[in-house]
């Protein structure tokens, strides 16, 4: 984590004066595999990363919430607790906070108002789920101000998902919020998005997780994410199942598929095959079979490109470049909702330097800049933090 307690505390004091009552930090996440499966009740394998959104907060008693966002150029906003969404085009960033302020009281958290400073060290638009981290950090701050620092983390994630739906207009699944809330240091989390059961999966020794930002800034609320979800729900209705998680690949061929349009069938094929890949990936990591892990990552990227149609040419080129530079042990795939963002790679520690050099030599972002490369450590979930 490159942002520290002192940084967020200083921002709070400069803007509001005095000291914050509580400071929270929530990690971003990178999804190793399992894309667009969460809202289909499927399986995902993300991990929290050592990039965070931090919040410093102090209780108010006038029913008002005052915000400053340090990583948005010091943007400010104010609103009464319980107010509805703001216009996404102008104050959309506040909607994640508005949503948590409006929804947490239904779960036993009393909110009388707050001064809140927000800052983070995640690159924007990289698909690392800064929005879920913000929801969790703000939600836990509200709970801690009400004397509930141990507020149930899975419930916190559910409230964050509801805020994203109702206030940000993105009908996301539960993965981003849940891993940011419940991540386990040194491990990925295999999550069953129907039951919310979680299994920690240790990352094999001698391997690193690398995140490479394509430079293509993405946005969840461009409509395409919600279109994909609607297509998946249409396919589930066609097959008369609660969710695509309840299908296997054999059901997508022959008479069962008759009458379903070709696009929705491809969307369903991605989800069904991605669920199988995700379960297989957890086994490969546990057993240390990194050749198999690489194959699964390559298959996942191809499925996102060909069946789910959520990649873009620069991301495809970057994934191929990384796959070739890494070799057989390990692999790479796009991560996140799609239409830009980052590629995640798992690679031997002794190949980090050569793979980084290959990326810098052969890839430029659409604006002509070198790609941003991060090595990510698996972080724990959202928490209240003490001074350094």
DSSP class per residue in 2-45: -S-HHHHHHHHHHHH-S--SEEEEEEEEEEEE--S-GGGT-EEE
> How many percent of the chain have pLDDT more than 70?
97
Secondary structure percentages of the chain, helix, strand, coil, to 5: 45, 25, 30
Provide the 8-state DSSP code for 168.
Answer: I
* Separation of alpha carbons 2 and 62, rounded Å: 34
Per-residue confidence band for 127, with pLDDT thresholds at 50, 70 and 90: confident
**Where do the domains of the chain lie, and which CATH numbers do they carry?**
5-27+48-186+379-384 (3.30.230.10)
Catalytic residue among 38, 115, 176, 307: 176
Q: What pLDDT is recorded for position 1?
A: 61
Buried b (16+ CB within 10 A) or exposed e, 317-328: ebbebbbebbee
* Separation of alpha carbons 273 and 147, rounded Å: 45
Does position 134 have pLDDT exceeding 90, yes or no? yes
Q: What pLDDT is recorded for position 300?
A: 99
Tokens representing 263?
């696009």
Is 192 known to be catalytic?
no
Given a contact cutoff of 8 angstroms between Cβ atoms, the answer to whether 164 and 99 are in contact is: yes
* DSSP secondary structure letters along 352-387: HHHHHHHHHHH-B-TTSPBPEEEEEPBPP--EE---
Tokens representing 169?
């207009």
Q: What pLDDT is recorded for position 388?
A: 73
Cα→Cα distances 24→3, 12, 132, 141, 275, Å: 12, 13, 14, 6, 33
Task: Over range 288-296, report the average pLDDT.
Answer: 99
Task: Over range 347-368, report the average pLDDT.
Answer: 98
Q: List Cβ neighbours of 73 (8 Å cut-off, separation of 6 or more).
A: none
Does position 222 have pLDDT exceeding 90, yes or no? no
- For the entire predicted model, the pTM comes to 0.91
Q: List Cβ neighbours of 114 (8 Å cut-off, separation of 6 or more).
A: 57, 58, 59, 60, 65, 66, 101, 141, 142, 145
Q: What pLDDT is recorded for position 93?
A: 93
Q: How far apart are the first and last CA of the chain?
A: 12
DSSP 3-state of 328: coil
Mean pLDDT of the chain: 95
Q: List Cβ neighbours of 251 (8 Å cut-off, separation of 6 or more).
A: 239, 257
Q: Which of 194, 267, 256 is nearest to 234 (CA)?
A: 267
* Separation of alpha carbons 296 and 333, rounded Å: 9
pLDDT for 308-317, tens place per residue? Answer: 999 999 999 9
Q: Which of 353, 21, 382 is nearest to 184 (CA)?
A: 382
Task: Over range 347-372, report the average pLDDT.
Answer: 98
Tokens representing 233?
């729900």
Assign residue 259 a region: left if phi > 0, alpha if psi is -120 to 50, beta otherwise? left
pLDDT for 161-210, tens place per residue? Answer: 999 999 998 888 899 999 999 999 999 999 999 999 999 999 999 999 99
Task: Over range 237-244, report the average pLDDT.
Answer: 98
Q: What pLDDT is recorded for position 2?
A: 74
3-state secondary structure 307-325: CCCCCCHHHHHHHHHHHHH
Does position 221 have pLDDT exceeding 50, yes or no? no
Pairing of strands 342-348, 207-213: antiparallel
């Amino acid at each position: 984590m490159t942002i520290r307690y002192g940084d967020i505390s200083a921002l709070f004091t400069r803007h509001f004066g005095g000291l914050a009552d509580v400071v929270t930090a929530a990690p971003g996440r990178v999804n190793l595999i399992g894309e667009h499966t969460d809202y289909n009740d499927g399986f995902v394998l993300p991990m929290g990363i050592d990039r965070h959104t931090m919040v410093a907060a102090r209780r108010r008693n006038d029913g008002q919430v005052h915000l400053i966002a340090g990583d948005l150029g010091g943007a400010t906003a104010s609103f009464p607790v319980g107010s509805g969404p703001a216009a996404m085009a102008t104050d959309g960033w506040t909607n994640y906070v508005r949503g948590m302020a409006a929804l947490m009281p239904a779960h036993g958290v009393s909110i009388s108002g707050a001064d809140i400073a927000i800052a983070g060290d995640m690159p924007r638009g990289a698909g690392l789920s800064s929005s879920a981290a913000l929801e969790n950090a703000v939600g836990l701050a509200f709970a801690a101000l009400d004397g509930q620092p141990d507020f149930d983390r899975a419930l916190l994630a559910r409230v964050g998902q509801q805020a994203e739906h109702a206030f940000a207009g993105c009908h996301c699944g539960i993965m981003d919020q849940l891993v940011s809330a419940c991540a386990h240091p040194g491990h990925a989390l295999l999550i069953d998005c129907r039951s919310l059961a979680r299994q920690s999966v240790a990352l094999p020794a001698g391997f690193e997780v690398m995140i490479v930002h394509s430079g293509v800034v993405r946005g969840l609320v461009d409509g395409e994410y919600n279109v994909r979800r609607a297509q998946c729900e249409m396919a589930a209705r066609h097959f008369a199942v609660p969710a695509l998680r309840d299908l296997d690949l054999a059901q997508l061929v022959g008479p069962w598929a008759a009458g379903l349009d070709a696009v929705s069938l491809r969307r369903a094929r991605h989800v069904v095959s991605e669920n199988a890949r995700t379960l297989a990936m957890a086994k490969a990591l546990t057993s240390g079979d990194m050749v198999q892990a690489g194959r699964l990552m390559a298959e996942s990227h191809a499925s996102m490109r060909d069946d789910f149609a959520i990649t873009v040419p620069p991301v495809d080129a970057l994934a191929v470049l990384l796959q070739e530079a890494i070799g057989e042990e390990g692999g790479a795939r796009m991560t996140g909702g799609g239409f830009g963002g980052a590629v995640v790679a798992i690679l031997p520690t002794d190949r980090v330097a050569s793979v980084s050099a290959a990326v810098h030599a052969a890839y430029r972002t659409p604006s002509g800049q070198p790609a941003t490369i991060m090595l990510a450590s698996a972080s724990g979930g959202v928490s209240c933090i003490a001074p350094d």
